[in-house]
Amino acid sequence: MHSFEQVRLYLIVTPSLCRDMAQTVAAAIEGGVDAVQLREKCSDDAQYVRHARELVSVCAGAVPLLLNDRWDLVESTGADGVHLGQDDASIESVRRALGPDIVLGLSTHDRAEVQAARGRGADYVGLGPMFATGTKRLTRAPGGAALLASVLDATSLPIFPIGGIDIDSLPDLVAVGARRCAVSSAICAAGDPKGAAAILFSELSLFSGLGEK
């Protein structure tokens, strides 16, 4: 089973933002991305499965590949886990259905949701939105570095801030204690996805003492 304890730079793949999805993800992994999630809202099942299998092959067991929402396709595609929102299928029932070995991620937005996540069976949490973003229609105001700072001691699970994080905004999060993050457009829409990933990864390492990969 893949653990998310060691994951630092989590790529949320938005296929429509990528010039070539497989090439973008392969380059991003070379640049330092160490976990990948397929997030594709408007595709039909056949296209979703095609993309998921393509990414399973790009990740090649070296980095975990999760599906957003589609827990029903985890086993048939060979993905390593699923990421769920607070209003998606219940994380408790998905854990029961898929067993202890899959990775389960949960979106959170405040301290109470972060605190509850481990007891609900999550292996990590996403926390957001941090900043304004065009990648997802937001229903909450971005919480920024203050939101992250307010939850860092609320769980022992890995916390991935998400939403509008790029090479310019990440240092504000690192300054309050971020050692990981999740990004989509900052890598998917970059002219040089490997270079973008490498810069984000090195920003995450600024104060970590964990050294370069």
Residues involved in catalysis: 39, 107, 136
Assess 72 for contact with Mg ion (CB under 5 A): no
Task: From the list Mg ion, ligand TZP, none, pick the one residue 69 interacts with, judged by a Cβ distance below 5 to 8 Å according to partner type.
Answer: Mg ion
Residue 150 or 185 with smaller CB distance to ligand TZP: 185
Assess 69 for contact with Mg ion (CB under 5 A): yes
Binding mask 107-146 for ligand TZP (x = CB under 6 A): ---------------------xx---x-xx----------
Task: From the list Mg ion, ligand TZP, none, pick the one residue 159 interacts with, judged by a Cβ distance below 5 to 8 Å according to partner type.
Answer: none
Separation CA 119–CA 164 (nearest Å): 28
Least Å distance between CB 115 and ligand TZP? 19
> Considering only 28-36, 51-59, 97-105, 180-188, which stretch makes contact with ligand TZP by CB under 6 A?
180-188
Q: What are φ and ψ of residue 35, in 5° steps? A: -160, 150
Write the CB contacts of 45 (distance below 8 Å, at least 6 apart in sequence): 73
* Per rule CB under 6 A, count of chain residues that contact ligand TZP: 15
Write the CB contacts of 95 (distance below 8 Å, at least 6 apart in sequence): 104, 121
Least Å distance between CB 139 and ligand TZP? 10
Packed helices 193-204 and 21-31: angle between N→C axes, nearest 10 degrees:
30
- Number of Cβ within 10 Å of residue 139's Cβ equals 7
Task: From the list ligand TZP, Mg ion, none, pick the one residue 172 interacts with, judged by a Cβ distance below 5 to 8 Å according to partner type.
Answer: none
Kindly calculate the radius of gyration of the chain based on its CA atoms and give it in whole angstroms: 16
The one-letter amino acid code at 73 reads: L
Task: From the list Mg ion, ligand TZP, none, pick the one residue 136 interacts with, judged by a Cβ distance below 5 to 8 Å according to partner type.
Answer: ligand TZP
Q: Could you tell me the CA-to-CA distances from 196 to 14, 64, 67 in Å, in that order?
A: 16, 20, 23
Assess 185 for contact with ligand TZP (CB under 6 A): yes
Contact 31, 202 (CB under 8 A): no
Task: From the list Mg ion, ligand TZP, none, pick the one residue 85 interacts with, judged by a Cβ distance below 5 to 8 Å according to partner type.
Answer: Mg ion
The one-letter amino acid code at 31 reads: G
Binding mask 158-177 for ligand TZP (x = CB under 6 A): ----xxxx------------
- Number of Cβ within 10 Å of residue 207's Cβ equals 12
Using CB under 6 A as the criterion, which residues of the chain lie in contact with ligand TZP when the complex forms? 12, 39, 128-129, 133, 135-136, 162-165, 183-186
